[in-house]
Amino acid sequence: MTTLGTLLFTWLRGEQVGTDVAGNKYYRLKGARPLVKGGGMDSRERRWVIYNGMPEASKVPAEWHGWLHHSTNALPPADLQKRPWQKEHLPNLTGTTLAYRPPGSILKGGVRARATGDYEPWVPN
């Protein structure tokens, strides 16, 4: 779902530097001029992502997020080993049928447990 302008710019001026497990492709400006320290826009190289499918910023994994936002200049390794306690990256599920719905949510049936004796409603004086 990338725009024609972005595809054309990527084809003419982009250099692909990697792909993540979701199939998103990451690019930087090829043949860029030397960076100027303290030069505003000239002090950073231009980086962008072409999403696989619908564009959704939460689809970018943490390792690529750091590179895209210039937190690190090192590209994530292609064979990144996850720790046993790390979960797979999930995009933001808000607004989808897979979103979390707590007990009592209208979207989950709307029935919740009755309040117990420890609840006291606020009464203005």
From first to last of its 125 residues, what are the pLDDT tens digits of the chain?
688 998 899 999 999 999 988 899 999 998 867 667 766 666 788 899 999 988 888 888 888 999 999 888 889 887 778 889 988 877 888 888 888 888 778 887 777 777 777 778 899 98
Query: Would you say how long the chain is, in residues?
Result: 125
Nearest to 24 by CA among 59, 71, 58, 76: 59
Q: In this structure, are residues 48 and 60 in contact, taking their beta carbons and an 8 Å threshold?
A: no
Nearest to 60 by CA among 83, 82, 52: 52
Q: Alpha-carbon dihedral of residues 53, 58, 63, 67, nearest 10 degrees?
A: 90
Q: What is the pTM assigned to this prediction?
A: 0.71
Beta strands in 1-125 (DSSP E): 14-19, 25-29, 47-50
